[in-house]
């Protein structure tokens, strides 16, 4: 297994291998370059999809409490026969209960890990799913995550959907900084360049959710042109683009054929002209699928309102699970 620096360089982007990993800060853990996402895949469909992904060669599985499929992922890993230590497992924690004490917040995080890893298990990466509505929210949840890591239930901790201002604030109260990773929406139409640059400058691994833009842009003429040039599918091109940007893409599918197709991205490379053409597609906030998690230029208080709505959704999800 090859370990790479956290930022891809021209020397590595043309010779990436499926078994390559990036080094995570503040831990001995390494993270595979390509992950399998499970958003909106539930029940037996989720278990079957994760089994198909592991069979196809994925070793990195991403879930979240909000997805309501952590138990299904756990069952798939047990059924797969793949040794647990050969799998990189990520989950994301939701909202602390309203008015919950620090002990209750900690217990909520432990229960999230229990669901996906078993009561004696661990996750390789534990992420705060959203910045939430307030500093107090972030501070309490991060403290609980640090404690979970100290107990050996998480090998590394990080964040998701954090913008630069949230990452800067985290410095003020975190015992462990920088976070190991920041998982954000990334694809050619939503490149979040300020966040990406900040993460790269501070050694924070960047994970790209929705690297296929939920399939809504696969017919883009520029993507089609590059796909034809390399005799690859549009999905292959978008995943390879993420890899060469130094991001860890998390494509998701419940279709076994597409699951296999999406991992076939290590036998070709995009040239500089391809990368420039795809870079030019950036639409900023307007190109995002999940716009509540992406800042407009000069972030407004409306973003905080949208984050609060997502926190309420996470809290309701937790109550449904219990």
Q: Is 6 annotated as a binding residue?
A: no
Is 173 known to be catalytic? Answer: no
- CA dist., res. 232 & res. 226, Å (int): 8
Instruction: Give the sheet arrangement for strand 21-23, strand by strand.
Output: 3-4, 21-23, 30-32
Q: Which of 39, 58, 67, 241 is catalytic?
A: 67
Query: Hey, what long-range contacts does 198-203 have (CB within 8 A, 24 or more apart)?
Result: 198/164, 198/167, 199/167, 200/6, 200/7, 200/246, 202/167, 202/178, 203/6, 203/25, 203/178
- CA dist., res. 307 & res. 315, Å (int): 12
What is the chain's length?
322
How many C-beta atoms lie closer than 10 Å to residue 26's C-beta? 16
| Phi, psi (deg, nearest 5) at residue 203 | 70, 25
Binding residues: 129
Annotated binding site for substrate: 129
Catalytic residues: 67
């Amino acid at each position: 297994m090859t370990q790479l620096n956290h930022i891809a360089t021209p020397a590595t982007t043309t010779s990436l291998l499926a078994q390559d990993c990036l080094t995570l800060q503040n831990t001995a853990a390494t993270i595979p370059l390509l992950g399998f996402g499970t958003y909106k895949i539930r029940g037996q469909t989720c278990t079957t999809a994760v089994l198909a992904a592991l069979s196809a060669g994925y070793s990195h599985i991403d879930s979240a409490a909000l997805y309501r499929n952590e138990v299904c992922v756990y069952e798939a890993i047990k059924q797969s026969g793949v040794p647990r230590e050969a799998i990189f497992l990520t989950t994301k924690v939701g909202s602390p209960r309203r008015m919950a004490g620090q002990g209750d917040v900690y217990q909520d995080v432990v229960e999230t890990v229990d669901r996906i890893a078993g009561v004696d298990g661990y996750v390789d990466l534990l992420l705060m799913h959203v910045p939430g509505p307030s500093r107090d929210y972030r501070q309490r949840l991060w403290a609980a995550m640090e404690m979970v890591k100290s107990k050996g239930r998480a090998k590394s901790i990080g964040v998701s959907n954090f913008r630069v201002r949230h990452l800067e604030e985290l410095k003020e109260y975190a015992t462990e900084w920088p976070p190991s990773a920041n998982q954000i929406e990334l694809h050619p139409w939503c490149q979040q360049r300020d966040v990406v640059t900040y993460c790269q400058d501070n050694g924070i691994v960047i994970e790209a959710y929705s690297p296929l833009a939920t399939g809504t842009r696969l017919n883009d003429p520029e993507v089609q042109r590059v796909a034809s040039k390399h005799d690859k599918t549009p999905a292959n091109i978008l995943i390879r683009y993420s890899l060469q940007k130094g991001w860890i893409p998390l494509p998701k599918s419940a279709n076994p054929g597409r699951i296999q197709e999406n991992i076939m991205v290590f036998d070709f490379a995009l040239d500089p002209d391809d990368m420039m053409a795809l870079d030019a597609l950036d639409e900023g906030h307007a190109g995002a699928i999940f716009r509540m998690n992406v800042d407009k230029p000069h972030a407004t208080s409306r973003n905080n309102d949208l984050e609060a709505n997502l926190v309420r959704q996470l809290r309701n999800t937790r109550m449904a699970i219990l």
